[in-house]
Amino acid sequence: MNLKIVCVKWGTKFPALYVNRLYNMVKRNLTIPYRFVCLTDNPEGLIPNIDLVSLEEKFEYCWTKIELFKPGNFSYDELCLFLDLDVVIPGNIDNLVTIQPENKFVGLLDWYNSRKTPHYNSSVMRFYGNSNTHLYSYLLAKLKDGTSRWGREFDAYLGSNDKVVLWEGKKRYGGDQEWISHYVYPQKEIKANSFPKNWIMSYKKHGRKRLPKKCKIMVFHGFPKPHEVNNDYVKEHWK
């Protein structure tokens, strides 16, 4: 298996420390041979063993993740497991690689409002290289022909009007995960192409008091981030 563990670091939201700690957590918790890859606009401070791919498009914030699907960044024989920088890995993640090996994309079913309208949270994604390049090419084509446009809104995390949204006609995409959820599969197929719900959990929803037994990855979406909590299991594993 030609496996790549992939992350994205853009701008100043996360320092190199977050990439390096993710690298260390993967090294401790994955027994399948792999290469660790970071898509970034600034490699300063990253561990030398990390392979680098340059971010070239003028995407911002979470939208930089769409470059994961840029043709040529990865090849068809490469299985890519993407991990957001703000995750904590408390145990073995081999099963995230081996589950549903035939699927072109396996995603994280979002923890909120997914019963009626299933959609993905893009904190953890697994895909074959070059198998979902339409997620990238559609976006560029729609921006070029004017059928889609960028917008700005207030963002509580940033504390400014720098949240980037995409308008496709009257349809609003609040971030990359909404775009991915809309175009990677028909909505009725999203649940069948998702990781088991108890493997990847939300710190805000599931992990403030304790680490759930079957949790393989804890996601720190929004506030707080791992460096901001005084939690024993986070301090044990986020290093």
Q: What is the pLDDT of residues 144-172, one digit of tens each?
A: 999 999 999 998 776 788 899 999 999 99
For residue 164, is it within any domain?
no
**Cα distance between the two ends of the chain:** 27
* Tens-digit pLDDT profile for residues 173-205: 999 999 999 999 999 999 999 999 899 999 999
- The answer as to whether 144 is a domain residue is no
Would you say residue 220 lies in a domain? Answer: yes
Q: Is the pLDDT of residue 230 over 70?
A: yes
- For residue 156, the model assigns a pLDDT of 76
Number of domains in the chain: 1
pLDDT at 116: 78
Tell me the three state secondary structure of residue 5: strand
Rg (CA), the chain: 17
User: Which residues span the domain enclosing 113?
Assistant: 2-131+195-237
pLDDT of residue 223: 87
Structural domain contains residue 124: yes
Strand partners, 221: none
Say if 188 falls within a structural domain: no
**Separation of alpha carbons 153 and 155, rounded Å:** 6
CATH number of the structural domain spanning residue 92: 3.90.550.10
Q: What is the dihedral of CA 218, 201, 96, 19, to 10 degrees?
A: -30
- Residue 90 within a domain: yes
146 within domain boundaries: no
Q: Is 154 contained in some domain?
A: no
